Structure 1
């Protein structure tokens, strides 16, 4: 490696030279020091360049697999949860729900979210705009982010989550399933939600996968299917599920224009428990299209019309960069307004 570009909790971004290529190629790389050790300029690093070879938009980094001459310290606990299991970089963490945790007793018999609003979204990029809508109407509430394992597994990958945590826009990040690196670790979405409520004392939880949504252009083959499963988890635990719609006016793919087929499948087919679905009051023919498509969800869910006045300004004031699929706020305003509308609705559910 030649230089450190920047760093944030759990991650270091590097400049590297890939010497295995002819000619050598300079590129960005990302290292997670808790897993691989902290690289320094001049170190030789072992890289995985799959993301570069595939031209991935999210996570277009070479990933540091090891720093052979600067190994991390041997893990000495506490904790017995192994995540990213049976991979070379499997991590042992202390789960809030395991027996050695200080929170085990609080979670051992926990069975209710006590009516806590749980905003569920398909994409990680919805997290910040949901918070914008929530805080625009209810500043000062405690919000926990429950990160599912459908995208990036390390929470450290998310610069936005790290910054939101630093600004106290998040009371904490809970990583569930195979995801790890949060302020709190949990085994399942269910215990992750319970930890958000009973460990982080959250007033609201936002549930979404980490960065790096996977989709195949098929009805069922996308990682956001887990959004429907999260609705079920929130409902069975006596939370108040709020299903944030994925809406786009800027996506070139017809299946995502208006209300994305991801939302229609996850909420219309996978979510068996009823949720409230905030439908943003968008203007014109596009707004009518969104409302008409959302009606497909009315068989099981309660549609709630949410005004968007003032949300554009709240989004402009967001303390982290807003981007979805490479599109910024003004390039796909409808996406961010729909997410912020879900946050606004959750704010209205608080007593």
Structure 2
């Protein structure tokens, strides 16, 4: 279940909004890289004793390969004194109480109480968190200045603070705000469901486009249904029932060593072909060559349920490289960079390009 360790903070490696990366000495286990969320546990300082959950570190997880600071037992943070009645990460040892945009004490409650429509708002849905930067790159290359809000459900990381990309994208002005929904927390606004998260993005944060994708650290089991990305299909349904305009971004890879993810991933074919009951636009990138033909053929399986939209990718590689440099964000998916799996990033950028055309 949980590997518990006690350690001593040796130093701070780096920080980003909501998170601090540390070097921690752990007895006979040597030093390790640890992550703390100050809003939950307080700010660790060199010399502090910390209690750690080292499970993900011991498992060698890529995205989640940190020891996580659970507490600073000798220097507890002050009690919270703010409003809020939403409990997230409920009934876990680190459940947190937050102010929800949709709860009665919120200044936004009246706006959201009877809200029921997104009024055609484009909602781009993607499987992986790594799709967020390239989607924004494609969208903003064609329509600079578009106000984009990210709605993060709880299929991957629960704290939005885990994502370095969110802070970098907001700092660069590419992303306006984040809404965390379900058990996820740490966004600019909190919401109980993806539905109220979408409504808050539109009615409170004035989004012109919304991107919905799970946080870092998706979970998959190599089975047809056992992956956290099925939530992409549910997000399509949520956007559609609220009179939004769902845009289903495909997960495509040429560099993945797992055959089930080469071409159009089985995650997209299941989430959009089986879980999504509402109709969405499915941007199909015109990649060219044998691989482009394969992607188009794979996507054709979704044509009975969704509107397949061919999207040219001219100029998108330049837009991706420019965005990476300008925003300071790392374009990476499953450890693969732009040059190692360019079709993945072009496909996400094509979804952004298509959304720009709807405005």
Q: TM-score if structure 2 supplies the norm length? A: 0.96
- Looking at structure 2, the residues matched to 260 and 191 of structure 1 have their Cα atoms a distance apart, in angstroms, of 29
Select the residue among 171, 175, 178 that pairs with 2:180: 175
CA-to-partner distance for each residue in 1:77-109, whole Å, 9 max, x for gaps?
Answer: 210000000011111000000000010000001
SS at match of 1:279: strand
Extract unaligned runs of 5+ from structure 1: none
Match of 1:8 in 2: 16
Match of 2:85 in 1: 80
Select the residue among 304, 307, 310 that pairs with 2:312: 307
Select the residue among 217, 220, 229 that pairs with 1:224: 229
Residue 59 of structure 1, CA deviation: 1.8
SS at match of 1:16: strand
- Looking at structure 2, the residues matched to 18 and 277 of structure 1 have their Cα atoms a distance apart, in angstroms, of 49
- Looking at structure 1, the residues matched to 78 and 254 of structure 2 have their Cα atoms a distance apart, in angstroms, of 48
Check the 8 A contact 1:14/1:28 in 2, yes or no: yes
Match of 1:203 in 2: 208
Extract unaligned runs of 5+ from structure 2: 1-8
* RMSD between aligned residues: 0.6
2:331 is the counterpart of 1:322: yes
- Looking at structure 2, the residues matched to 155 and 174 of structure 1 have their Cα atoms a distance apart, in angstroms, of 9
- Looking at structure 1, the residues matched to 90 and 170 of structure 2 have their Cα atoms a distance apart, in angstroms, of 27
Select the residue among 143, 161, 166 that pairs with 2:166: 161
Match of 1:342 in 2: 351
Check the 8 A contact 1:77/1:92 in 2, yes or no: no
- Looking at structure 2, the residues matched to 164 and 198 of structure 1 have their Cα atoms a distance apart, in angstroms, of 22
Select the residue among 4, 20, 41 that pairs with 1:36: 41
Residue 18 of structure 1, CA deviation: 1.3
Residue 75 of structure 1, CA deviation: 1.5
SS at match of 1:288: helix
Match of 2:151 in 1: 146
Could you tell which deviates more after superposition, 196-205 or 313-322?
Answer: 313-322
- Looking at structure 2, the residues matched to 125 and 10 of structure 1 have their Cα atoms a distance apart, in angstroms, of 19
SS at match of 1:343: helix
2:118 is the counterpart of 1:100: no
- Looking at structure 1, the residues matched to 24 and 331 of structure 2 have their Cα atoms a distance apart, in angstroms, of 27
Runs of at least 4 residues of structure 1 off by over 3 A?
none
SS at match of 2:68: strand
Q: TM-score if structure 1 supplies the norm length? A: 0.98
